[in-house]
C-alpha cells in the first residue's frame, strides 16, 4: 500500500515503541503485498502480530472493507489472544472479483485499552481470461472504450445468412432441437429452411429497424436468438420492461402497454445481449437508455447459466469475440452508465477505529493507545488540526500536523496516557471534503484495569522446552486443541492433563487453543527437544 511520508514515519516509530509498558499489538511484517491473483484461486500470505506487553492481548474483531460491494480480503481468525512477549500467526487470503488494483487495510480490534493494529493490503486483481487483459485497472468510460476495442478486434462477420446457419445448426441446436427463447416451444430442424417450415425466425434483441438492418449489427450472433414467429412479432420493436397488464402471454413471456417482458429463463440473457450491443456499437435511436435500469436489475437477478456460458463460447468459436457480461458479470459494477457518459461517484469517507476511545486504567504507569484512520472513500482527504483536550495526553510521535490520505491509505495515531487518571476528554481533528471537525470522546474504560490482565486462568503448557511429555494446566477450559509444526501440518489433540508428544520429531511447534467460554482463540509456542 502507498502511504504518505508521515504515515511511514509513524509506522517505523511504532516498531521502536516496544519499551512502552502497555501498547497495542505490533504487525511484525508490516504491510502485505500479494502477487497478481485471478478470480479462480485465492492468494494467501501469513502475517504475525507481536504482543510486547507483560499481559495477554485479545483481538475481538477484525474490520474489513468492501470494493464494489465485495470483501476480497479475508483472515483466518477474527477472535484470538496473543500471550505476553509472543506472536500470533494468521493467514490472509486475497480473492479478487475485479481485475483492478486493490489497496485496503485490516484493522485488528482489541478492547484491551491500548487500541488497535492495522495491516495494509495491496493486491493486483487479474482475470483468468487473457482476452480481457486490456481492461485491467480501467473503469467507467475507459473500461467501455477498452471493451469496445477488444470486441471489435479480429471480429469475424459471418453475414446474416451465415449467422443464422450457425445459430440454427450448432449454437442453439441441442440434439437436433431448437428452442424459442421467449416461449420455450421446441422444434426439430437445423437449417434456415427448417426454421421457416416450423414457424421459427431470428430475433434481434436490439431491433434491426433502429440501425437500418446494417451489418455487422444485423449479423452479430451475440444479440440474435431463435424465436417463435408469433412471439417475435409480438415483441416487435417494443422496449423490454415489466408488463403489469398483459394483452398477450405465452410460455412465461408477456406483451402489453408498449413493453415486452421475456420469461425468467431469458431475462438475464436479454439484458446481457442488450448491454453487449450498446458497448460494441451504440444506442441507436436511444432505444436502450429507457431500459437500462430494468436490464441491470435482470442482469443481477438472473446470472449467466451454464447454457448461456456455453453459447458465448460457441459464438466466440465462429465470430471471434465474446460477450464480456457473460464472462464477467461484475464488469457492470464498474460502468455507471452503459449508453451515456459513465463516471464514478465521488465518495469522501474516512473510517475511524473508535467512536469512543477507552483507555486502560490502573496504577501510575505510562501507556500508549493506537487509534486508526483509513480512507475508505474514493477521494483524497486532508487531515489536520489534531489536538488532545487534556494536558495529560500527548501524541507519542509528535503532533501529525497536516497530511493527506489518498484512497486506500491509512494512519496509526499513537496517544500516550497515564493509567491512574480518570479521563473524560476528546481527540479532535479536521477532515476535508465536507466531513469537517471530528471529536472522538476519550474516557477511562470501565473494566479495563491493567491489574485485570492476568494469564493464570488461561491453559498453560509446561515444561517448555519439553522432551515429549507436556503437562496441561486448566485443560478443562479448552474446547478445541491442535498442534501445528513449522511446515503448517496440524494435528488435532484431546485436551487432557498430560499430553504425550514423544512420537513427534524434535522442532518448533505451536499449540492452537479454542476456549469453551467465548470461543476465543490463542496460540502458544512449544519446543520439543
Domains of the chain: 5-127+346-452 (2.60.40.10), 140-334 (no CATH), 460-528 (2.60.40)
Alpha carbons 205 and 182: distance in angstroms, whole number: 11
| Mean pLDDT computed over 47-73 | 93
Distance CA 447, CA 511 (A): 29
What does the pLDDT average to over 234-261? 96
What pLDDT is attached to residue 446? Answer: 58
Least confident range of 245-254, 280-289, 412-421, 452-461: 452-461
Helix (H, G, I), strand (E, B) or coil at 159: helix
Q: Across the chain, what does the average pLDDT equal?
A: 91
Q: What is the mean pLDDT of residues 174-194?
A: 97
Phi, psi of 379 (to 5 degrees): -115, 150
pLDDT of 294-325, one tens digit each?
Answer: 999 999 999 999 999 999 999 999 999 999 99
Q: How many CB atoms lie within 10 A of CB 71?
A: 12
Q: Is the model's pLDDT at 456 over the cut of 80?
A: no
Q: What is the pLDDT of residue 448?
A: 52
Q: Rounded CA gap, 222 and 178, in Å?
A: 17
Q: Are the beta carbons of 73 and 1 closer than 8 angstroms?
A: no
CA-closest candidate to residue 221, choices 145, 162, 279: 162
pLDDT > 90 in the chain, percent: 78
Name the grid cell of 306. Answer: 451454464
pLDDT band at 106 (very low <50, low <70, confident <90, very high): very high
Residue 216 is placed in which grid cell? 455487422
Strand ranges (DSSP E) for 51-199? Answer: 57-63, 73-75, 80-82, 87-94, 101-110, 117-126, 173-174, 177-179, 186-188
The burial of 276, by beta-carbon neighbours within 10 Å (0-12 exposed, 13-18 middle, 19 or more buried), is given as buried
Which residues are CB-neighbours of 64 under 8 A, at least 6 positions away?
A: 71, 73, 74, 75, 104, 106
pLDDT number for residue 230: 96
Cell numbers describing residue 432: 476535508
Cell of 160: 446474416
Contact 51, 80 (CB under 8 A): no
End-to-end Cα, the chain, rounded Å? 41
Report pLDDT for 218.
98
Residue 168 and residue 195 in contact, taking contact as beta carbons nearer than 8 Å? yes
Three-class secondary structure assignment of 94-133: ECCCCCCEEEEEEEEEECCCCECEEEEEEEEEECCCHHHH
Q: How many residues does the chain have?
A: 529
What residues pair up with 319 in beta bridges, in sequence order? none
pLDDT digits (tens, 9 = 90+) for 458-474: 787 888 888 899 988 88
pLDDT at 9 over 70: no
Mean pLDDT value across residues 478-502:
89
Q: Is the peptide bond before 154 cis (omega within 30 degrees of 0)?
A: no
pLDDT of residue 90: 93
Each residue's pLDDT tens digit, 83-101: 888 999 999 999 999 999 9
* pLDDT bucket at 476, cuts 50 / 70 / 90: confident
Kindly write down the DSSP assignment for every residue of 256-293, as one continuous string: ETTEEE--HHHHHHHHHHHHHHHHHS--GGGTTGGGHH
pLDDT at 457: 61
Residues 6+ positions from 343 with CB-CB distance below 8 Å: 140, 141, 336, 337
Amino acid at each position: 500500500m502507498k502511504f504518505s511520508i508521515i504515515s511511514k514515519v509513524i509506522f517505523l516509530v511504532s516498531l521502536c515503541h516496544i519499551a512502552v509498558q502497555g501498547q497495542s499489538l505490533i504487525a511484525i511484517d508490516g504491510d502485505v503485498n500479494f502477487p497478481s491473483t485471478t478470480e479462480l484461486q485465492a492468494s494467501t500470505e501469513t502475517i504475525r502480530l507481536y504482543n510486547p506487553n507483560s499481559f495477554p492481548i485479545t483481538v475481538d474483531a477484525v474490520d474489513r472493507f468492501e470494493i464494489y460491494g465485495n470483501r476480497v480480503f479475508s483472515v483466518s481468525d477474527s477472535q484470538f489472544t496473543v500471550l505476553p512477549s509472543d506472536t500470533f500467526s494468521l493467514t490472509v487470503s486475497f480473492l479478487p472479483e475485479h481485475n483492478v488494483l486493490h489497496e485496503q487495510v485490516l484493522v485488528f480490534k482489541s478492547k484491551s485499552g491500548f487500541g488497535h493494529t492495522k495491516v495494509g493490503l495491496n493486491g493486483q486483481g487479474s482475470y483468468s481470461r487473457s482476452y480481457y487483459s486490456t481492461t485491467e485497472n480501467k473503469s467507467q468510460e475507459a473500461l467501455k472504450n477498452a471493451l469496445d476495442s477488444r470486441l471489435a478486434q479480429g471480429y469475424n462477420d459471418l453475414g446474416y445468412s451465415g449467422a443464422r446457419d450457425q445459430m440454427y445448426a450448432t449454437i442453439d441446436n441441442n440434439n437436433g432441437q431448437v428452442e424459442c427463447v421467449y416461449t420455450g416451444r421446441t422444434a426439430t430442424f437445423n437449417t434456415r429452411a427448417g426454421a421457416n417450415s416450423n414457424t421459427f425466425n431470428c430475433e434481434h434483441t436490439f431491433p434491426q429497424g433502429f440501425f437500418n438492418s446494417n451489418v455487422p449489427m444485423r449479423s452479430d450472433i451475440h444479440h440474435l436468438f431463435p424465436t417463435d414467429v408469433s412471439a417475435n412479432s409480438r415483441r416487435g420493436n417494443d422496449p423490454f420492461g415489466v408488463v403489469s397488464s398483459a394483452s398477450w402471454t405465452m410460455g412465461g413471456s408477456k406483451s402489453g402497454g408498449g413493453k415486452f417482458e421475456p420469461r425468467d429463463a431469458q431475462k438475464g440473457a436479454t439484458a446481457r445481449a442488450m448491454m453487449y450491443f450498446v458497448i460494441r456499437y451504440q444506442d441507436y435511436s436511444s432505444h436502450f437508455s429507457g431500459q437500462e435500469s430494468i436490464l441491470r436489475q435482470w442482469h443481477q437477478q438472473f446470472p449467466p447459466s451454464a447454457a448461456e456460458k456455453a453459447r458465448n463460447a460457441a459464438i466466440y468459436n465462429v465470430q471471434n469475440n465474446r460477450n464480456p457480461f457473460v464472462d464477467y458479470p461484475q464488469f457492470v459494477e464498474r460502468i455507471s452508465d452503459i449508453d451515456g457518459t459513465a463516471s464514478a461517484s465521488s465518495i469522501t469517507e474516512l473510517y475511524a477505529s473508535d467512536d469512543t476511545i477507552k483507555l486502560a486504567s490502573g496504577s501510575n504507569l505510562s501507556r500508549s493507545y493506537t487509534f486508526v484512520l483509513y480512507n475508505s472513500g474514493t477521494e483524497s482527504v486532508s487531515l489536520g488540526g489534531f489536538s488532545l483536550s487534556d494536558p495529560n495526553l500527548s501524541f507519542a510521535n509528535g503532533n501529525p500536523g497536516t497530511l493527506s490520505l489518498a484512497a486506500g491509505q491509512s494512519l496509526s495515531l499513537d496517544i500516550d496516557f497515564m493509567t491512574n487518571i480518570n479521563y473524560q476528554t476528546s481527540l479532535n481533528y479536521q477532515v476535508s471534503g465536507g466531513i469537517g471537525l471530528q471529536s472522538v470522546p476519550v474516557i477511562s474504560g470501565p473494566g479495563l484495569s491493567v491489574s485485570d490482565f492476568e494469564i493464570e486462568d488461561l491453559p498453560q503448557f509446561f515444561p517448555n522446552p519439553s522432551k515429549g511429555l507436556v503437562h496441561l494446566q486448566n485443560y478443562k477450559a479448552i474446547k478445541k486443541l491442535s498442534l501445528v509444526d513449522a511446515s503448517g501440518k496440524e494435528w488435532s489433540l484431546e485436551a487432557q492433563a498430560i499430553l504425550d508428544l514423544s512420537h513427534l520429531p524434535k522442532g518448533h511447534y505451536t499449540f492452537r487453543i479454542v476456549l469453551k467460554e467465548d470461543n476465543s482463540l490463542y496460540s502458544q509456542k512449544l519446543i520439543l527437544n
